[in-house]
Chains A and B, each alone.
Chain A
């Protein structure tokens, strides 16, 4: 096994006089002083947020404006700090998206509880909940931090759908083949 014994020498007379350290230390300080600053002037300069950043969880609509969430409550179940509260609701029979059957009546994510772990996004079977790159949420009261459905959709916006499975289902039903 490769072990490396870290030997140490006692300080030499010169080293005991502090002088070489002061000179050497100042050299390092000078070198670092001439380097460009490493800090950001925060509110004016913003850090670059990489793709896939786990910020505020939001709800998204599909390109046709349909709420993607079907209120299966899986995200509510998996959320470790229990930040999500969902009240499922029916979609009215005469609505254009009636074939989806369910949508959340109320959907609330408490941003003070959320730990931005991303598990909700991972388990969602509808790709309806996404963590966005918003990282500074501010407010004056605790109530403000419990984001309601409207706010979540507003932050989430629209996301392209890869599968359009509900549209396919509707088309199949119209063709008299409800199992495809």
Chain B
């Protein structure tokens, strides 16, 4: 009986060819997409010989929501809640990065107070993200306790976020040209208290793991990424710095007034999983340093750029009482802010690496195209390169040390 062949074109052929590579004498196993050790909905196709990994292919896209397309259909401020859901481990940093990108497009300057608040937010997000990264990394290597300690601290950061933004997780805090609201009374004191309490805990988890022989043996020399590879694969963030490349956008292309703060960029020497752990640990300490400086220097003044009110949102009090502003409010909400045509690319040092937004505007209220450069996606691309030769039990360790988040990778 003749079998009717249905052509699904190039994509099918490519997928088949990719599968062909896996049809050797080795056994192919599947990890994920709901495997706890794959940190989110990542699926790995692993070719093994006994316990040794011969090839490993990450399959992504299980969390794809089409954020870039969604952005084309809504105004700039409406997209802010969607940026929460990129790197949902430290959501407020995405808010800030997106807001700065659009501000660059609109050529807006935000007041110093707004910048300082944003810096605190960014560093709190970094702490959130690295605390999770460190805690879960402990779990991946078999040390459950560290997770409990880091999550206790993370909980406090959530409470801070709740006080600041009104939501623990989906912060949606920035607006183009400023912030949704000013910091509440006494909030800076809470922040200082939380980071002060956090420092001894960092020392504790350092003491529990860094010189622990089990942890040491499981991570040293595992998943080595050379300097050249790290650059060639476009790695950014702690994964790049662990390989010894001192690239940190906060230093190299300062935004948000980062040049005023004094902090070090930690770099590793070997580029293995252990180095990535050390780098994250040190980055948390540096974040605390930055937060303390920002609290001390917190300037007074407005938290929303005056010029931005014309483009993005007239003051609420005026909307309630004056016809002019009321009409303007309706125009801005329904048609979107009138942006100049042009394109802009802005990337910031997110906890996971360089998160970039490329926005093409043809004028008018919505972006013509919005591209998100997600650090997790690029960092994950190194997996097929570094996995082969390791044992199956090393897979969670290496994945954990890369510390990616699929919400951002698949966007």
Residues of A within 8 A of B (CB): 1-8, 11, 15-16, 18, 20-21, 24-25, 28-29, 32, 38, 50-54, 72, 74, 77-78, 80, 115-119, 122-123, 125-127, 131, 162-163, 165
Contact = CB atoms under 8 A, between A and B. Distances in A.
B166 A131 contact: yes
A59 to B, nearest CB: 17
A54 B168 CA distance: 9
Nearest to A133: B166
Given A6-B266, A122-B180, 16 more contacts: A2-B262, A3-B246, A4-B266, A4-B267, A15-B213, A21-B211, A28-B207, A50-B162, A53-B166, A54-B165, A54-B167, A72-B330, A78-B78, A119-B77, A123-B333, A131-B166
B321 A163 contact: yes
13 contacts: A4-B266, A6-B269, A6-B275, A8-B274, A11-B211, A16-B213, A21-B213, A25-B208, A50-B163, A115-B170, A116-B167, A125-B319, A125-B330
Nearest to B251: A1
B264 interface: yes
The prevalent SS among residues of A at the interface is loop
B334 interface: yes
Contacts of B79: 80
Contacts of B251: 1-2
Interface in B295-317: 313, 316
A176 B190 CA distance: 55
Interface residues of B, number: 54
Contacts of B60: none
B267 to A, nearest CB: 6
A33 to B, nearest CB: 11
Given A21-B211, A165-B321, A8 B269 contact: yes
Interface string B149-181: 100100100000011011100101000000011
A84 to B, nearest CB: 13
Interface of B: 74, 77-82, 145, 149, 152, 155, 162-163, 165-167, 170, 172, 180-181, 184, 204, 207-208, 211-214, 216, 246, 251, 262-269, 274-275, 278-279, 282, 313, 316, 319-321, 326, 329-330, 333-334
Contacts of A127: 320
A1 B269 contact: no
B212 A21 contact: yes
A80 B82 CA distance: 9
Nearest to A131: B166
A32 B266 contact: no
Contacts of B167: 53-54, 116
A72 B333 CA distance: 12
A95 B190 CA distance: 51
Given A28-B204, A50-B162, A54-B167, A2 B211 contact: no
Contact of A8 (B163, B278, B316, B329): B278
A125 B208 contact: no
B169 to A, nearest CB: 10
Given A28-B208, A52-B184, A80 B74 contact: yes
A58 to B, nearest CB: 15
Residue in A51, A52, A74 whose Cβ sees the most chain B Cβ within 10 Å: A52
Contacts of A115: 81, 170
B166 A54 contact: yes
Given A16-B213, A116-B167, A1 B246 contact: yes
Nearest to B77: A119
